[in-house]
Structure 1
Amino acid sequence: MAAFAVEKLGRMPYQEAWEYQKRVHAEVAAGRREPTLLLLEHPPTITLGRAAKPEHLLLPEERYRAMGIELFAVERGGDVTYHGPGQLVGYPIFPVGRQVRGFLRRLEQAILQVAASYGIEAYPSPGYAGVWVRTAPEQEEKLCAFGVAIKKDVAFHGFALNVNTRLEDFSLIVPCGLRDKGVTSLQKILGHPLSLEEVAERVVEAMAQVFPAFPTKEPA
C-alpha cells in the first residue's frame, strides 16, 4: 500500500488546479491530510516559475491568450514551461523538509523507472532538473520537466511528463530557458500514442517505490 493518497482529477483548468493544490497543501502541512499525489492534465497553459525570464516567452502575452493559451506566474522553481492535453502532470504534495534537491532527484528516479518500463533509456542531468533522452550524438530532448516549491516543509507543484503531448506547442516558448535542447514525448519515442491512465498507474507504482514512507505529523 502506498504511503500517500492518489487523486486523479482528469483535465482541469490550471487556475482551479492551482487553488486546489494550495488547499491540499495547507491540510497536509497541518497534519489533517495524508501526503497526496494529484495526477491530471491541463488545457493549453504556460507557467512561469520564479526564475522565468521575459525573453523566454516568444510571443506577446495577448497573442498566447488569443490562441487559447493561459499564462500564470507561479511560485515553483524553474523557468517557463508548457502544459497541454496529453501531458501527465503530477503534483506530489509530500512532506520533504528542506531537502529540495534530494526530493527532485527522487522524483527523477520515479520517472526514470517509468521510462525504463517502456524500454526507454532516459537519464537525469546534474545541471538541469528533468528526465532526458539522447536522440542524436549531440542532441538531448527533455521527456519530463520538474518544478517544485516547498512551504512549511511540504512540497507542491511537481512534474510534467510528456505522454501524447502536442510537441509543436513548445516552439511558442524557450522551454525551461534552454535554447539548445529539445522536447520529446513517450508517443514520439515509441511511435504510437499511449493510454494516459496506464502511464499514470506506472507513475503511481514508481512513486510508491521511491517514496515508501514519510515522517508523521500530529494534526494542528
Structure 2
Amino acid sequence: MKNKRVEYQDWGLIDYKEAWDKQENLFSASVQLKTQLRNKQLAVAAGQEPEDDILTPNYLVFCEHPHVYTLGKSGKADHLLLDEAGLKEKNAVYYPINRGGDITYHGPGQLVAYPILDLDNFFTDIHLYLRTLEEAVINTLAHYGITAGRYPGYTGVWLDADNEHARKICAMGVRCSRWVTMHGLALNVNANLDYFKNIVPCGIEDKAVASLNQELGRDVDLNEVKKILKQEISVLFGMEIFG
C-alpha cells in the first residue's frame, strides 16, 4: 500500500546544523520503518499471518538558514574561497555534508525545501525525482512571469540556459537511501547574491547566479512563494499535503 499523504512543516529561519539533525532524525526513522516493513513482507512470504499495514511517512519541510556554505560528497573543498577568518568576517559557517553535488550557499531570503519522502510511495526513479522537483520550481517561477528551464548536464533550475547569459536560480542536492530522500533544493527569492562570490557555486566556474527579486526588480513575499511551490510539488507528485 502506498502512502501519498505528506506532512508539511515550516521550520522558519533555523540554524543549518539544527535543521540537518532534524532531517536526519526523520530520515533515519523512515529507513528503520522500511526495514520493519521488509521483515514483515518476508514473514508473510514464509507463511506467517499478515499484521496491520505499515505505512512509511512523508514530509515536506520549508525553511531558511543563516549564512552557511555546504559542500556535497562530490565537491572540492577549494571551491570555498574563504578561510576561517573570512567566514567569521562574513558571519557565515561551513559544513561538509552527506548530500550529492558540490558547494552551495544558503542564507536569509532563500527558500530551502527538504522533501523527506519514501519514493516507494511515489516512483522509484531518482532521475525522475530530480526532474520533478525542477519542474515544480520552473512552474513556480512562471507564476511571476519568469521563464526558467534546465541546463544540459547539470541539475537545478536556470534562466537563459540557451545562451551566454545562463544563470542559476535554484540549486539542488539530495541524498537517497532505501528510496528515502533528504536534503533538496534552494531557490533564491530575496537572497543576497554577494555571498555566492565566496565560492565556486556548484563547482561551475563560468556561470552566474540569479535571484527572483533581482529578476523582478522588487522583493517578493516569501510566504507567497512557499504557497505556490508547495502546490506545484503536490500536483506533480500526486501528494495529499497536510499540516
Distance 1:41 1:179 in 2: 25
- Superposition deviation, residue 67 in structure 1: 2.6
Q: Which of the numbers 198, 207, 232 marks the counterpart of 1:181?
A: 207
Q: Which of the numbers 197, 200, 204 marks the counterpart of 1:171?
A: 197
Q: Report the equivalent of 1:156.
A: 182
Q: Deviations over 1:44-89 (max 9, x none)?
A: 0000001111221112244213432111111100000000000000
3-state SS in 2 of match to 1:78: coil
Q: Report the equivalent of 2:40.
A: none
Distance 2:84 2:99 in 1: 20
Are the equivalent residues in 2 in contact too, given 1:27–1:33 (CA < 8 A)? no
User: How large is the RMSD of aligned CA atoms in angstroms?
Assistant: 1.9
**How many residues get paired?**
213
Are the equivalent residues in 1 in contact too, given 2:150–2:161 (CA < 8 A)? no
Are the equivalent residues in 1 in contact too, given 2:56–2:118 (CA < 8 A)? no
Q: Report the equivalent of 2:78.
A: 55
- Superposition deviation, residue 194 in structure 1: 0.7
Are the equivalent residues in 1 in contact too, given 2:166–2:207 (CA < 8 A)? yes
Q: Deviations over 1:104-148 (max 9, x none)?
A: 001001001101111110001230001000189412110100000
3-state SS in 2 of match to 1:145: strand
| Equivalent AA in structure 1 for residue 98 of structure 2 | E
Distance 2:6 2:216 in 1: 30
Q: Report the equivalent of 2:147.
A: 121
1:70-219 to structure 2, matched below 5 A, reads: 70-96=93-119, 99-134=125-160, 137-213=163-239
Are the equivalent residues in 2 in contact too, given 1:24–1:33 (CA < 8 A)? no
Q: Deviations over 1:153-192 (max 9, x none)?
A: 1000000000000001100000001011000011011110
Unaligned runs of 5+ in 2: 34-53
Q: Deviations over 1:188-213 (max 9, x none)?
A: 11110011111000010000011115
Quick check: 23-32 or 161-170, which moved more? 23-32
Distance 1:150 1:190 in 2: 35
| Equivalent AA in structure 2 for residue 90 of structure 1 | A
Answer with 1 or 2: which has the greater Rg.
2
- Normalised to the residue count of structure 1, the TM-score between the two structures is 0.91
Note closer, same or farther for the CA distance 1:141–1:201 as it changes in structure 2 (3 Å cut): same
Q: Percent identity?
A: 39
Quick check: 74-83 or 53-62, which moved more? 53-62
Where in structure 1 do 4 or more consecutive aligned residues deviate above 3 Å? Answer: none
Unaligned runs of 5+ in 1: 215-220
